[in-house]
Amino acid sequence: MPRVYLSPSLQEFNPFINGGSEEEVMNLIADAMEPYLNASGIEIVRNSPEMTLGEAIAQSNNSNIDFHLAIHSNAAPESIAGTRQGPVVYYFSSSQPGREMADLIAENFADIYPDPSLIQTMPTVTLRELRRTNAPSALVEVAYHDNPEDAGWIKNNIQPIARELSRSLAEYFGIPFTEPLY
C-alpha cells in the first residue's frame, strides 16, 4: 500500500482576500482528500497545524513515505498583490518523480481550473519542503489567495481540488482511483 505525506500549509498568517487563512483552507483540502485516498488504498500520514515546517519535514522523513505532497496557496509580491492567477506546481529540479507528479497535477487541474493556460509546473532548488524531504515530493500552489477570482475559486472548489490531487496521486502510484462511498 503506497504511503503519502500530506502537508497542508502551516501558514496561518497568510490571509485569504475573502476571509480565512492559507493554513485553514489548505487543511480543508487535505481533509477532503482523505476519503479519496483511503478509497484508493493510499495510506496517509499528515502534518498538523501546530507543527513547524521543520517538524513536518522530520515527520515525513521518519515515516517511510513514498511521496510527500505539500498543499499551499500563493500570493503575489506586495507591489502587485492580487494581479496574478493560476496554479503553480513545484518540484525539485533534479527529481524525475517530483516532475512526474507536478505534470500529473497540472494535467488534472486543467479539468477544473477556469483557465488551464495559466497552470504552470516549475522546477526549483529553493523550497525547503522539496529540498529537505527524503521522499519524492511536489508542492502545489493551488491558486492565488490574494486574487479575488482565484480565492473564490479555491473556496468554492475544495472537493474538486481534493479529488484531482487524490486522482493525481493514484495515477502516480499506478493504482486505480476510487471514489469514496459516502
pLDDT digit string (tens) for 25-69?
Answer: 999 999 999 999 999 999 999 999 999 999 999 999 999 999 999
CB 174 within 8 A of CB 67: no
Query: What does the pLDDT average to over 164-173?
Result: 98
Q: What angle do CA 97, 171, 113 make, to 5 degrees?
A: 95
Task: Give me 20's grid cell.
Answer: 480565512
Whether pLDDT at 182 is above 70: no
Query: What does the pLDDT average to over 107-130?
Result: 98
pTM of the predicted model as reported, rounded to 2 decimal places: 0.97
| Cα–Cα distance measured from residue 143 to residue 140, given in angstroms and rounded to the nearest whole number | 9
* Local confidence band at 21 (pLDDT 50, 70, 90 cut-offs): very high
Termini Cα distance of the chain: 22
Q: Which residues are 122's β-sheet partners?
A: 90
What residue ranges in the chain does DSSP mark as E strands?
Answer: 3-8, 43-46, 67-74, 88-92, 120-124, 137-144
CB 169 within 8 A of CB 39: no
